Structure 1
Amino acid sequence: MSPENLAAIRELAGPIAAIGVTGTLGWVVTTWLRIKHGYPLEGSWGQKIYPKTNDQAMQRIALLTSENAELHAQLGSLKDRLATVERIVTDSGYQLTAQIEALRGDGKPMN
């Protein structure tokens, strides 16, 4: 090898090493962020590898599931109440008055 080639290799060795170290650190940080936020990793053949969830995440999922069930129950009761209110509001005034009077025992027939 000529001295010119050796000088060129020495000049490029630093930047090439810096690029290699930067790429490796970037890959490590990216992998760490994926694990931290629960994103799947990729195996050597491109398959998805999901990191294991911890107990705190499982407890949070259980809490959210129970809260979701409670909210669905409340929503169902509110739908029933809304249907009753809609039926009362859309009823004509005469029919409602006749039903109330019939309940009072006035003796008027209901239509």
Structure 2
Amino acid sequence: MSEQNKTWCPNIEFNETDEELILKAELPGVKIEDLIINAQTRFVSISGICNPDKSTDEKEVIPSQFNYGQIKCNTPLPVAIQPEKTRAEFIDGVLTISMPKLRVASAVNF
């Protein structure tokens, strides 16, 4: 299988505040316009494409350890979020998705 036909998932980490769940994904070499982010109440998916950036004169000396090809990552979330309020930013090859937690109304006794 050629590297460009491989499907891969980026390295990710989760952080949490009282208000938000924050996912960070390493996507070096990927262009923001080549990414699709889909947030749902209980999962987030990242998909897209990463093509090698080689000049026509370059020849690969040893097999690359970089990830190229289809990006496909479906990640279940540890808490429910508000998908419509999700924000994403992409800086220096790191995608940060900030997802406000879904607040569940507590029961009130009368």
TM-score between the two structures when normalised by the length of structure 2: 0.20
* Greater length-normalized contact order (CA 8 Å, ≥ 6 residues apart): 2
TM-score between the two structures when normalised by the length of structure 1: 0.20
Higher helix share: 1
Which structure: larger Rg?
Answer: 1
